[in-house]
Amino acid sequence: MVTGASSGIGEALARQLAARGVGLVLVARRGDVLKQLADELRERHGVHVDVLPLDLTDDEQCAEAERRLADPHRPVELLVNNAGSSGSGLFADLPLKRELQTALLSAIVPLRLTHAVLPAMIARGSGGVLNISSMSALLPRPRSATYGASKAFLSSLGETLAMETAGHGVRVTTVHTGLTRSGFHQAAGVPADRLPDMKWLAPEQVAQESLGALVAGRPAVVPGRAYRLRYPVLRVLPRWLLRRIVRREHQA
């Protein structure tokens, strides 16, 4: 099951999984886009593809995805937690509803879906969970406060679950993505001049490195050489210094 499968990293993961002969359950709000993608993947790769047009921020629609994941007659071997949203602006100025949706999609929905699928995976002794997190999880993120905080939750959850499931044949991998050309930032209303001048990643590269890390049983992966070099530095820098660096970036 791939959430947020209608575009960007989610779509790239769906395409690469289908190319490997993997049957899919595609989840996103845009049912028409999902159906078009599903038809293409069935025709090109001959795989079975189910479509679940769901708004995962809605409690009952999220519960529908949970029921599908827990269905013992149709076991899911891999859950990809990719759905996400964000807004751009000062936290106090942004609508509460949108901030709650961001927190739900990046933190609570992955928790619910993983909790629904993990018991059966552990019982079988096989399966995997791929969490699409962000480098933002390491940093204070002015104008994207809720997004960064919820991704920090997801990263921490994924790291811990990788430890808890290590002896049960289940792999949990968290992906710390950098800037990716997925349309996400435009949808969030983030001005291009506020984004760091670093190399952008293609969704296909993120998907390929993510699946490679999952197959290898690695608990975490940072796609892109530039971001891999930056990641360990960010983890060890004092928080006061990180805040100063981020403040200068936003003032530039």
**Cα(230)–Cα(222) distance, rounded to whole angstroms?**
10
The angle, 0 to 180 degrees and rounded to 10, between the axes of the packed helices 96-103 and 145-164 is 20
- Quickly state the pLDDT bin for 189 (edges 50, 70, 90): very low
Is it the case that residue 204 has pLDDT exceeding 90? yes
More confident residue, 248 or 131: 131
**Cα(212)–Cα(208) distance, rounded to whole angstroms?**
6
The token pair that represents 112 in the structure block: 């619910």
Which 3 state secondary structure label does DSSP give 234?
A: helix
Q: What is the mean pLDDT of the chain?
A: 92
Q: What is the pLDDT of residue 183?
A: 58
51 neighbors 59 (Cβ within 8 angstroms):
no
| Residue 108: count of CB within 10 angstroms of its CB | 17
Range with lowest mean pLDDT among 3-17, 151-165, 188-202 = 188-202
List the domain boundaries for the chain: 2-251
**What confidence tens digit (pLDDT) does each residue in 40-64 have?**
999 999 999 999 999 999 999 999 9
Residues annotated catalytic, as ranges: 147
Mean pLDDT of 178-185: 72
Give the contacts of 140 (CB within 8 A, at least 6 positions apart): 148, 242, 243, 246
> What is the fold of 2-251?
Rossmann fold (3.40.50)
Q: What is the pLDDT of residue 185?
A: 43
Range with lowest mean pLDDT among 21-35, 71-85, 180-194, 220-234 = 180-194
Enclosing H/E stretch for 225: helix 225-236
Place of tokens 């993997």: 22
- Quickly state the pLDDT bin for 195 (edges 50, 70, 90): very low
**What confidence tens digit (pLDDT) does each residue in 106-127 have?**
999 999 999 999 999 999 999 9
Q: What is the pLDDT of residue 85?
A: 83
Mean pLDDT of 148-175: 97
